[in-house]
Copies of this chain bind each other. A is one copy, B any other.
Amino acid sequence: MRSRAEATPSFVWVESLGDPGSTIALPRDESHYVARVCRARAGDAISLTDGRGGLATARVVKPAPPVVVEILEVQAAPARGGTSWLLCGAPEGRRDDWLVEKLAELGVAVFQPIDAARSSWGTAAGRIERWERLATAALRQSRRRYRLEVRAPVPLEAAVAALPAGAGRWVADPSGRPAGEFRPDPTLAIGAVGPAEGFDPREVSHLMDQGFRPIALSDGRLRAETAAVAWAAWWSAGRIGASEARAS
């Protein structure tokens, strides 16, 4: 065991960092984490991020929930390295939660759920809030300065129409060219994965027309959420020297 003084400071998310000298009450999950998991004491150092690249050093003032910290120093967001977005149809069952968690850990910037011809995400209450909590927990785990942005489901054409120009576009397809033949784009790479039932032929045509390249991530058929995470891992592995700023 390392001593408390040597330990890496806790790393948590807050909506807004505030100014040096100000105090902040941490959100509920973050308070719980700092008080119960890290067992913080008054005076302990802690790092905060707003999940949009900003980073602050702080000191614990009140170690019991709601935990209160005093901001010491704030760093603005640095220029962001290469990022990725993922468009994804609905997987089977409750596989969405771990999908979101893994995309967030791997550093994907935007998760855009897609309502596809063969399957839509439905309207489960509280789902986006749950995804946001998972994204925040993954940010703590990975000590990232950027949090996965989770969006509400939209139809495929609307999602594609809203994509930034100039990004590399990829659609997971077992009959595509092997992923190992490609490198992800250094600035922005956008992946698309069909729902459990697959994209229908009209959707596939639309993606091709819009510049999506078919990429095979495995020599077997993957479930929707597996293809999404495998695409994110391929993107993550290929980001040589384009490291996103993070807390060490």
Contact = CB atoms under 8 A, between A and B. Distances in A.
A229 B105 contact: no
Contact of A219 (B102, B217, B230, B244): B244
Given A105-B220, A141-B223, A236 B230 contact: yes
Nearest to A145: B220
A238 B178 CA distance: 8
A240 B180 contact: yes
Contacts of A219: 81, 107, 236, 239, 243-244, 246
Nearest to A95: B98
Given A102-B229, A106-B222, A222-B142, A217 B237 contact: yes
Contacts of A59: none
B222 A105 contact: yes
A220 B246 contact: yes
Interface in A188-243: 217-223, 226, 229-230, 233-234, 236-241, 243
